[in-house]
Structure 1
């Protein structure tokens, strides 16, 4: 079999997510970016500029775990620098409702009017699904793979013909996978039950789609008559697709500044069961959304979806087996200490929630063959404690599935000095430290995690 080398980097972005991996074999390369956001604009630009300087502008895959701003707000800089992807893998969500919830959070947590730059993340979300950065593939759970019209507002888009996008890598993918990943229409849906084995190489990519269901309170708000203008502006984003820009920003701003009578505002508050809140004068849609966000705590934790990605040796299926050596910048090896292993996989979990035993069971059942080969795991939600049960039993359950190894690495990509979040949580760090080396990739450049994996022969 051909010799494989893999270089993996978790970039020092602070509170966010930015992982790059380059696989090489037979003189060719296969590149993957998992999430692209967080930190400051200056920090994101410096990281992306360094990537542009080191590698060609055409990359293979961009994988987005979820649509939080700190996981996607570096994509605009990628576009500015000319980086394009053959495919963009996305979580299966209702796009219009997801954008609506993003707006609710932006409005609810902002003081006064919304600046245009605050709308950049929702514009990026629409462009991701419309194919602006690469051919979009939506990953859905195996037990409920819907048709191509299941993702709201994508079925009316024009044919996808991005002639300037790089083609799927023919050297690493079989003809069948090349065809599957080069859809003629936007919004192609792929089941997460199908692992993507690289052709004649012992390397596999396996997704896990933790599905997102719109809370009923969100569906109720979406249908309020006073928000008709906002609904139309959001639908315009999905339908404008790659052309969405100033037109979308103007439409959202106009919708937010639309006046709402006292009677209509109070009717909306009553219909939404927003406590005892009332208004005594005419207000704007912007002010109404702020009040709703304040009165309805269910709107604050809207992101339960997450697209996870395993990258490593084949756990189940695949072709011939290979053995690997792994080196990491976080571990000091003794001179001459070299050993062969198959436990060199990487697993990104985004903001995956394992709050219930059933959540953990579904995750472990899906990744049963891969978890025992995982040497580096990105702790969900930057090391938050809220992604597990109150006793952290599901955290123990997750870590129990990983291989017992002195080199097991558990990474929290976060900024401990963040004024609001202060991830990773001490309880999570203390528990994880019993299983392996816990490392916080933060805003300090020295915290960047680098790994190299080389196959035998």
Structure 2
């Protein structure tokens, strides 16, 4: 059987987020510039920062690479401001994955950006036609992930994957490729309107993207968990939209209105009437084994002069997920309970903010090695002192800060096997 190596990196981009990972045949050289070893599968999670100069340097470091999947946790600038530049720099991005956004949700993001002064013409163009915006930048498919809200009953876990098969890569003469597809899809599918537009699909909550080779399933999966605002809050926001703009408007109509100051003022008014915080949508992502192997896996973490053996390769990114809310946290931990024994790396939510954290999260992952804050120079007090103290008191994990410094880049590598 051909063995598969993995490599994951949290790039040092300051107050933001930029994570990437790739799989390749065992024994090939692994590195970053750009994804040395010609990986058989590669993905990224977010690409943004408030320190855009350091973000741009990290994007340059992987120029020419190919990404099969780009996950965007949500649309705040410090998580997505580099996406346009990333799409221009890499060789290709096949699929972009977002939390589900309907007309009202797109209007909500426009309103939030108008409220905090970050609304740009590029973002308005994106909202006006996501299919055309991403398609013009080479993206083949946009995938919306249905989300969970606080009022949902229960929280079904991710789809299980079949542990049978060898997952071999059979080289095609130039490049062996691994395969993936979603375990389930919803029937509403929008085909690409033209050669310059992206196909749009929608998948239900709990669908996962398992990775496989010619001869079967690898023990590796990408599993997103999206959170959405409550139906009551969305209904209140929609009522405010109707009061200001009238009923039946599309996302494009709201985007067109946002091009004028009067429209932006109306959107801001709608937003301010309903919300204080704009961290409303966020999508977490687990990357790692899909089922518990028969033994603990060994991998290696590197950060500057730190070299450490890590027991579990699973990496859980959280974006700006608010885990301080009890119902939301319980759904999150219940959903990812299947993977809990394999999670060794946890990205602390919202750059390690005290306001988005609860120490019970650390106890949920028995082999957690690192609790990581993606943080840079900021005025918000990130990472919070309470979060750092909670990690220090916990018996397992170490606190790691990935910031603007090149030496803070965190790399994890190992082998995918049963």
TM-score (ref. length: structure 2): 0.75
Q: Does 1:418 find its partner at 2:378?
A: yes
Stretches of structure 1 lacking an aligned partner (at least 5 in a row): 145-168, 238-247, 258-284, 389-394
User: What per-residue deviation string (whole Å, max 9, x for no partner) do you get for residues 354-402 of structure 1?
Assistant: 23333222222211121221111111111112224xxxxxx22211011
Q: How does 1:41-440 map to 2 (within 5 A)?
A: 41-52=52-63, 55=65, 58-81=66-89, 83-94=91-102, 96-110=103-117, 118-125=120-127, 128=130, 131-132=134-135, 133-141=139-147, 171-173=177-179, 185=191, 186-199=199-212, 200-213=217-230, 215=233, 216-224=235-243, 226-227=244-245, 234-236=251-253, 252-254=258-260, 256-257=261-262, 285-287=263-265, 296=273, 298-315=274-291, 324-330=297-303, 341=311, 343-388=312-357, 395-404=358-367, 408-415=369-376, 417-419=377-379, 421-435=380-394, 436-440=397-401
**Aligned equivalent of 1:244:** none
**Cα distance between partner residues in 2 of 1:442 and 1:359:** 28
**Cα distance between partner residues in 2 of 1:39 and 1:83:** 25
**Cα distance between partner residues in 2 of 1:176 and 1:106:** 31
Q: Does 1:453 find its partner at 2:417?
A: no
User: What per-residue deviation string (whole Å, max 9, x for no partner) do you get for residues 288-345 of structure 1?
Assistant: 5556666x4x4331332221111111236xxx757532111238678xx868x4x211
Identify, as 1 or 2, the structure richer in helix: 1
RMSD: 3.6
CA displacement at 1:427 relative to structure 2: 0.7
User: What per-residue deviation string (whole Å, max 9, x for no partner) do you get for residues 212-247 of structure 1?
Assistant: 3462442122112x4359x8684248xxxxxxxxxx
CA displacement at 1:414 relative to structure 2: 1.7
Asked whether the equivalents of residues 128 and 253 of structure 2 are also in contact (C-alpha less than 8 Å), the reply is no
Asked whether the equivalents of residues 18 and 36 of structure 1 are also in contact (C-alpha less than 8 Å), the reply is yes
**Aligned equivalent of 1:280:** none
Asked whether the equivalents of residues 182 and 210 of structure 2 are also in contact (C-alpha less than 8 Å), the reply is no
Q: Aligned pair count?
A: 363
CA displacement at 1:88 relative to structure 2: 1.3
SS of the residue 2:315 aligns to: strand
Q: Relative to 1, partners in 2 of residues 1:82 and 1:213: Cα closer, same or farther, differing over 3 Å?
A: same
Identify, as 1 or 2, the structure richer in strand: 2
SS of the residue 1:359 aligns to: helix
**Cα distance between partner residues in 2 of 1:202 and 1:375:** 16
**Cα distance between partner residues in 2 of 1:253 and 1:384:** 33
SS of the residue 2:351 aligns to: helix
**Cα distance between partner residues in 2 of 1:220 and 1:404:** 46
Q: Relative to 1, partners in 2 of residues 1:330 and 1:43: Cα closer, same or farther, differing over 3 Å?
A: closer
Q: Relative to 1, partners in 2 of residues 1:129 and 1:371: Cα closer, same or farther, differing over 3 Å?
A: farther
SS of the residue 2:279 aligns to: coil
Q: Relative to 1, partners in 2 of residues 1:449 and 1:289: Cα closer, same or farther, differing over 3 Å?
A: same
Asked whether the equivalents of residues 39 and 443 of structure 1 are also in contact (C-alpha less than 8 Å), the reply is no
**Aligned equivalent of 2:10:** 10
**Aligned equivalent of 1:34:** 45
Stretches of structure 2 lacking an aligned partner (at least 5 in a row): 29-38, 153-174, 192-198
SS of the residue 1:222 aligns to: helix
**Cα distance between partner residues in 1 of 2:306 and 2:270:** 55
**Cα distance between partner residues in 1 of 2:108 and 2:190:** 30
Q: Relative to 1, partners in 2 of residues 1:60 and 1:47: Cα closer, same or farther, differing over 3 Å?
A: same
SS of the residue 1:329 aligns to: strand
TM-score (ref. length: structure 1): 0.69
**Cα distance between partner residues in 1 of 2:12 and 2:363:** 28
User: What per-residue deviation string (whole Å, max 9, x for no partner) do you get for residues 246-281 of structure 1?
Assistant: xx67x6323x34xxxxxxxxxxxxxxxxxxxxxxxx
